Structure 1
Amino acid sequence: MIDYSRNWLFIDPELQSRLGELRLLIMGVGIGSVMAELALRTGIRHITIADGDQVDASNLNRQNYTSADIGRRKVLACADRLRAIDRSASIRVIDAFLDEAMLREEIPKADVVINTIDFDSPVFLLSNRLCRQFEVLELFPMNIGFGSSVCVFQKDGRGWSELFQFENHVDLKQKILQHLAQAAQFAPYLQEAAARYFVPERPAFDPQLGISCAISSSLMLGLIIKHLRGESLKAFPEFYFLDATLPHFL
């Protein structure tokens, strides 16, 4: 079992205990693999990870896998890593892409949901609705350049469909990025990147950096801690944004 004594100055015993009791559901163990490890090392000991994908060499620039994991199921490789850190932790594995029935079963069991499901999955929006229906805090991270944004969804707040009108997942992604760009005052390099992103000839895969995954995970864990302390969180359509190349935090 992990000795959390080095957390003492910043996490008091009561908060440490509450972290240990929290039930975290991570949907997608790309970014989620980094978040899962940080959560466990900080004190979250009940973690369910769900994903139906396998590790690819292109994941290694940002996700918590090694070359030995290439070709393995992501959830199994992630679970092995977590259990190697602490075999006494409760790590549940769902080796599948979540469908509606799974969401309806799993979301009510969780205290916090990390939603990293791909935009083109039909359950991406369903998770957003069900978390609010079941009064479960949902965090949505988005890697952006050398930084990250995190949107917070709570029971009485607005969801994607209440703010945006869209025809498909590409349209939704563009509207989300435009919303973030306008409110966050993106750095010039991101403004230039945004102009080149939504063009037909771009690569099919999204650009993502390791620093972004680390920032996303850190932001989400910080928000969970604020939530456990009873502090208010900025709810969507407001959001949190941090770019490591900029001197400010939004």
Structure 2
Amino acid sequence: MEGLYQRNRIYLTNEEQNFIKTYPLLIAGCGIGSNIAECALRFGFENLTLIDGDTVEQSNLNRQNYTLNDLSFFKSERLFKRLKEINPDADIKFHTGYIDHNNISALIKDHKIAVNALDFASDIPLYFDQLCQEKDISVLHPYNLGWAASVAVITPDSENLQSVSGNFNELEMVKFIIGDLKSKDKNYNWLESILDTYISEEEKLSPPQLSVASWILGGICTQLLYLIATQREIRKFPDYYIKSVLL
């Protein structure tokens, strides 16, 4: 393996390392997507498209891959700059607008896997999944659960998030995960307590999230990108991945 990736040896074959180098990935949403994008790039995925119309805010710095120098700049642009500093030869593109019904088809075109880290403020995230399924593109949905991280994988032949709820959002997904874990006697009582406390807050704020889960998600998603790209077996939604640092 070349110098940049020589420490990846044994974990990946030379053929796999060369193959993923040009494998086209779409990062839709550069909040939690910023952590995933860097981990994927360092692993060897060098063909990345970054999309986000948001700018970096101070509240992002507790968990997203940005610094004080990035405040008020477009997330996708600053993430592009950071990734190019890591690997200037990587084929990275960025878009500083939001995904909508007019541009979504053009933006997902020619990609093999997408990370859907879009805010559920409209029907776009669900339409994104639907269109990706039609175009034979697998989609990763990452969820920051503070001390834990979860990822759902939507494939062309899997169920989609609307099977959980016709009016799906991140809160519905967390409820779904908690219910499933309880049915399997998995001890995630702390997560249910966090959810209950968040719901009962008088002031309606964005959900609490930690840097811990953001970096776990970088690892989980990068492994899934590798497994999907090399056509290995994965869990498909409604199954999902979850990892916690709590013992």
Q: TM-score, normalised by structure 1?
A: 0.92
What is the count of residue pairs matched by the alignment? 242
Secondary structure at 1:3 match in 2: helix
Secondary structure at 2:206 match in 1: coil
Q: Which amino acid aligns with 1:178?
A: K
Q: What's the offset of the Cα at 1:173?
A: 3.2
- Give the structure 2 partner of residue 126 of structure 1: 127
Give CA-to-partner distance per residue, 1:162-220, whole Å, 9 cap, x none: 34233xx5xx3333211101223352221211111223614421211111110111111
- Give the structure 2 partner of residue 58 of structure 1: 59
2:77 and 2:95 in contact (8 A); partners too: no
CA distance in 1, matches of 2:35, 2:243: 17
CA distance in 2, matches of 1:228, 1:98: 24
Secondary structure at 1:183 match in 2: helix
Give CA-to-partner distance per residue, 1:107-164, whole Å, 9 cap, x none: 2311110000001132111111011110101000001121111000111111122342
Find 2:177's aligned residue among 167, 176, 180: 180
1:15 and 1:228 in contact (8 A); partners too: no
- Give the structure 2 partner of residue 49 of structure 1: 50
Q: Percent identity?
A: 29
- Give the structure 2 partner of residue 212 of structure 1: 213
- Give the structure 2 partner of residue 95 of structure 1: 96
Secondary structure at 2:81 match in 1: helix
- Which moves more between the two structures, 71-80 or 195-204? 195-204
1:2 and 1:41 in contact (8 A); partners too: no
1:113 and 1:138 in contact (8 A); partners too: yes
Secondary structure at 1:49 match in 2: strand
CA distance in 1, matches of 2:204, 2:115: 27
C-alpha spacing 1:234/1:78, structure 2 compared with 1 (3 Å): same
Q: What's the offset of the Cα at 1:101?
A: 2.5
- Give the structure 1 partner of residue 237 of structure 2: 236
Q: What's the offset of the Cα at 1:63?
A: 1.0
Q: Which amino acid aligns with 1:22?
A: Y
Q: What's the offset of the Cα at 1:2?
A: 6.7
- Give the structure 2 partner of residue 155 of structure 1: 156
C-alpha spacing 1:224/1:66, structure 2 compared with 1 (3 Å): same
Q: Which amino acid aligns with 1:241?
A: I
